Structure 1
Amino acid sequence: MNIENPSDERRTLVLTGASRGIGHATVKKFSAENWRVISCSRQAFSEKCPWPMGPEDHIQVDLADPENLGFAVQEIRKRLEAHGSRLHALVNNAGISPKGNDGERLMSLNTPMHEWRNVFQVNFFAPILLARGLFEELKAASGSVVNVTSIAGVRVHPFAGTAYATSKAALASLTREMAADFGPHGVRVNAIAPGEIDTSILSPGTEKLVEEIPLRRLGQTNEVADTIFYLCSENSSYVTGSEIHINGGQHV
């Protein structure tokens, strides 16, 4: 645990989708490592969240609303001013995957166009708008961006819909492009692609998929958080433009 620096010299993380699952575990990991975490989600801060500086470092934002997202970027920049306007890491974790009326997977044939737009706004456009909006702060800290993609971006998934899958594939390509564009400014950009992770939002039938995973188990949220932390730490100082698969070998 890094406890060498006083609180006002702590590294700072901005994380979207902090309210549950991978995001929740990531906040806990970085907080335990003495990072300041500015969390962003559609929900207001919950007192059930077990980390310090919650309400003071939480921003309620609807990533599906470009105007609201713009306001959030300005609020984040304002909160960073007191600490030298430096941002050490941005983790684009928020993502949506709409289902049909009965919870069924939405295919390319039946996904409403407004759902396509919403999914791409949250899963694809929000990450680049956040990274561009916070570019100067990331540059000042030689920071790191981590985009959370998905195994659904590289293979047809039985539960993840087409809009979600294609948005994650696009985000993986964006990660490569961002790495090339941001790299000369000292900012690293990578992605992680989780597979079947044990969270509260697992789809019925996921247990059948475990039989096809070489490690024969679901992943844990803390395992994903540990990989995110690695990509934001000095241990990965020469890693950029990479997409790390966290799926127990499912992608093979």
Structure 2
Amino acid sequence: MSYFDKFSLQGKTAIVTGGAGILGSHFCKGLASAGANVAVIDINIERANEVASDINNKYHVKSTGIYCDLTSEQSVIEMVAAVKAEFGQIHILHNNAAGKSSNLEAFFAPFEEYDLEQWKEIMSTNLDSMFLVAKHVGKAMKEQGIGGSIIQTASIYGVMGPDNRIYEGSYYMNREINTPAIYSASKGGVVALTKYLATYWAKDGIRVNTITPGGVESGQNETFKKNYSNRIPLGRMAQAEEMVGALIYLASDASSYVTGQNILVDGGLSAW
């Protein structure tokens, strides 16, 4: 037996939501490099098509971009139908997408002043969308009768509180930032949903796990990077590609006896 072969995704089809994003594009390419055909799902269809085209050019697999508004159940239903029509069976779902607020001032507001409508908007984008995608892709997997692997992306702030000292003098894309409570609450919900679905679909051979990324370097100012790195045992922020190995493991038969788990790829932050 070749243990390395268990990591192969040859002949399988993967759905990646938020596939055009900073992490999403790396996740899509990582799955393709392991042999999977990849449906790149994003509300930004132009960028999704670019990622799919890049995959088609670099890897010997099939990839296509598919539009989906993950907050709309009808759009999710249409997305799943499009993937089945294009690829046939669905073997892997990476429920990865998370959204940006339409109002950054409201998003970063102090907790005591936080607007309920802003809270609902982020909860809808970050958690309701996970429910909708898991519901309809999981249903398709169950009907296929061959099992599957679902991986959901959470955040370190879904399992631990933020050290607000990190954010003193910190900026992202030239804007002062913090971590609002709604982000933690919604990401904590992702972890809880994973555990529920892992037990709910275990009898159907569908495994459900979470990946929890630590802070990824992607445009933060030097103050933030220094403050954050000082909290990390490995002494630095992550690079986007460093999240991909955990995904390939959870998507593949190498993790055939792993379900309901949360793998923290955080440089050791949660160990302190």
Class of the TM-score when normalised by the shorter of the 2 chains: 0.7 to 0.9
Q: Aligned in 2, Cα 1:55/1:114: closer, same or farther, shift over 3 Å? A: farther
Instruction: Label 1:198 to 1:142 Cα distance change in 2 as closer, same or farther (>3 A).
Output: same
**1:53-91 CA distances to partner (integer Å, 9 max, x unpaired)?**
899721222223x2xx4223233224314544x211111
Map of 1:93 onto structure 2: 96
User: Which secondary structure state, in structure 2, belongs to the residue aligned with residue 45 of structure 1?
Assistant: helix
Name the CA distance, whole Å, in 2 between partners of 1:197 and 1:142: 32
Question: Which region of structure 1 is more displaced relative to structure 2, 33-42 or 199-208?
Answer: 199-208
State the number of aligned residues. 242
The alpha-carbon distance between structure 1 residues 107 and 121, as it changes in their structure 2 partners (threshold 3 A), is same
Contact 1:97/1:160 (<8 A) preserved: no
Alpha-carbon spacing, 1:55–1:119, altered in 2? closer, same or farther (3 Å): farther
Which of 214, 224, 234 is equivalent to 2:253? 234
Provide the rounded CA distance (Å) in 2 between the counterparts of 1:222 and 1:160: 23
| Backbone CA RMSD of aligned residues | 2.7
- Aligned position for 2:156: 151
Residue 120 of structure 1 corresponds to 123
CA distance in structure 2 between the aligned counterparts of 1:197 and 1:176, rounded to whole angstroms = 25
Q: Which has the higher helix share?
A: 2
Matched, 1:70 2:77: no
Which residue of structure 1 lines up, in the alignment, with residue 175 of structure 2? none
Give the 5 Å matches for 1:1-252. Answer: 10-46=11-47, 48-49=50-51, 50-52=54-56, 57-64=64-71, 66=72, 69-81=73-85, 83-84=87-88, 86-96=89-99, 98=101, 100-101=104-105, 105-139=108-142, 140=144, 141-157=146-162, 158=164, 159-200=178-219, 205-252=224-271
Distance 1:13 1:238 in 2: 19
CA separation of 1:19 and 1:201: change in aligned 2, threshold 3 A: farther
CA distance in 1, matches of 2:236, 2:65: 33
| Alpha-carbon distance in 1 for matches of 2:62, 2:218 | 24
Distance (whole Å) between structure 2 residues aligned to residue 106 and residue 129 of structure 1: 28
Counterpart Cα distance in 2 of 1:191 and 1:90 = 11
Normalised TM-score (structure 2): 0.79
CA distance in 2, matches of 1:201, 1:42: 24
Gaps of 5+ in 1: none
C-alpha distance in structure 2 between counterparts of 1:45 and 1:10, whole Å: 26
Cα gap change, 1:183 to 1:220, in 2 (>3 Å): same
**Secondary structure of 1:134's match?**
helix
2:173 corresponds in structure 1 to none
Counterpart secondary structure, 2:123:
helix
Alignment-mate amino acid for residue 133 of structure 1: H
Structure 2: runs of 5+ lacking an equivalent: 165-177
Whether the 8 Å CA contact 2:194–2:209 is kept in 1: the answer is yes
**CA distance 1:226–1:56, shift in 2 (3 Å):** closer
Q: Percent identity?
A: 24
| Cα separation, 2, equivalents of 1:210 and 1:76 | 40
When residues 170 and 57 of structure 1 are mapped into structure 2, their CA distance, relative to the original with a 3 A threshold, is same
Q: Which of structure 1's runs of 4+ aligned residues deviate more than 3 A?
A: 53-56, 81-84, 97-100, 103-107, 200-204
